[in-house]
Amino acid sequence: MKIDEDKFLKSLFPQLTKDDSIIIPPGDDCAAIKLSDDSLLLVTVDQLSEEIHYYSKDSLNPTCPKKAGRKLLARNISDIAAMAGKPLYALLAISMRSEYDQEWLIEFTAGVLDLARNYNIHIIGGDLAAAKANNASLTLIGTVSSHQVCRRDQANEGDLIFVTGKFGGSLSTEKHLNFKPRLNEALWLAENDYTRAIIDVSDGLIQDLARVCDASSLSAIINEENVPRSNVDNVELPLENAYLDGEDYELLFAVPASMKDQLLDQWPIKVELTEIGRFTKHVKESPISTTEGIDLSPLLKLGFDHFSRSINSVAN
């Protein structure tokens, strides 16, 4: 039987032990643990596997190991950004097959270390092992004020849906390797009380919007004319690519309608900010639709899933 990633995780999470210190349990971009009355510890982990997240050294177009290493840490920073937190410490574990040499390993770790220095993140430990396939895992630890933390279940009916940047074509443009985590953008939004509901879009715009809808018990209406799409060879990509390609690592967040004009007027960052729709009362039969009434929920079956996508496609 084929594994359904989201369904498996939903069945697993209720089985995990809990205590009062776990403020945000598994299911969001990070788990959050209470440190004090005003501080939460954020913990997230992501993996990077050859031929899934980057092209191996055996491929016709192998990925630069330094870029692959950078991507591993950047993915985790993007998770911390989605909680409006600050990344602090990381643990790195790498397993390698014998066909890879020390030069590749040095370059891969250099990609991690260079980005860590840019964000003042300390690598405090890890592990190195031999394996039959290359895989690297990084655990990132950060902090956030309990009054500032953002999570997927905090969108409200009537909130507007905003996004940063553009969507689609992350593989052909190599954005999946070179993206800049939207850490400063998320911090500004939370510090100025524009949002408490953010997700970083890694599995595709539709898939991750559906996760916010599910967590907040809402539906969403999308204005397709407003969805910002990437350009490849000076041609704007089709909506399908924006919806499904994934690995954009942009922010999707909820903003009260009354704050829209103020947000757009005060937005201090050069990154493009776009309103693409609104959250509405939950409609089970059509969790995501367009302003023209077209049901977009069938697209959810086409979004990225680790167990349904070909191993030869590089995706999140």
CATH 3.30.70.100 fits 152-302, yes or no: no
Mutual angle of helices 183-191 and 65-82, in 10-degree steps:
10
How far the first Cα of the chain sits from its last, in Å, is: 22
Using alpha carbons, list the distances in angstroms from residue 211 to 37, 222, 227: 29, 15, 18
Q: Cβ distance 44 to 139 under 8 Å?
A: yes
- Residue 296: CB atoms within 10 A of its CB come to 20
Q: Please state the domain extents for the chain.
A: 17-145, 152-302
Q: What is the pLDDT along the chain (316 residues), one digit of tens a residue?
A: 555 555 655 665 566 556 666 777 766 667 777 887 789 999 999 999 998 899 988 888 999 999 999 999 999 999 999 999 999 999 999 998 888 888 999 999 999 999 999 999 999 888 989 888 889 999 999 999 999 999 999 999 999 999 999 999 999 999 999 999 999 999 999 999 999 999 999 999 999 999 999 999 999 999 999 999 999 989 999 999 999 999 999 999 999 999 999 999 999 999 999 999 999 999 877 899 999 999 998 887 665 554 444 334 444 4
Find residue 278's DSSP bridge partners. Answer: 160, 221
Residue whose pair of structure tokens reads 């270390």 in the numeric block = 113
User: What is the distance between the alpha carbons of residues 7 and 297, in angstroms, rounded to a whole number?
Assistant: 16
Say if residue 271 is exposed, middle or buried (CB neighbours under 10 Å; 0-12, 13-18, 19+). Answer: middle
User: What does the buried/exposed string (b/e) look like for 138-171 if buried means 16 or more CB atoms within 10 Å of the residue's CB?
Assistant: bbbbbbbeeebbbbbbbbeeebbbbbbbbbbbbe
Q: Which of 179, 151, 159 is nearest to 71 (CA)?
A: 179
In Å, how far from its chain's centre is CA 165? Answer: 13
Q: Are strands 135-145 and 160-164 parallel, antiparallel or unpaired?
A: unpaired
Q: Which CATH superfamily is domain 17-145 in?
A: PurM-like, N-terminal domain (3.30.1330.10)
What confidence score (pLDDT) does residue 298 get? 86
Residue whose pair of structure tokens reads 């070179």 in the numeric block = 178
User: What is the distance between the alpha carbons of residues 1 and 248, in angstroms, rounded to a whole number?
Assistant: 30
Residue 98: both structure tokens together: 């014998």
Cα radius of gyration rounded to whole Å, the chain: 19
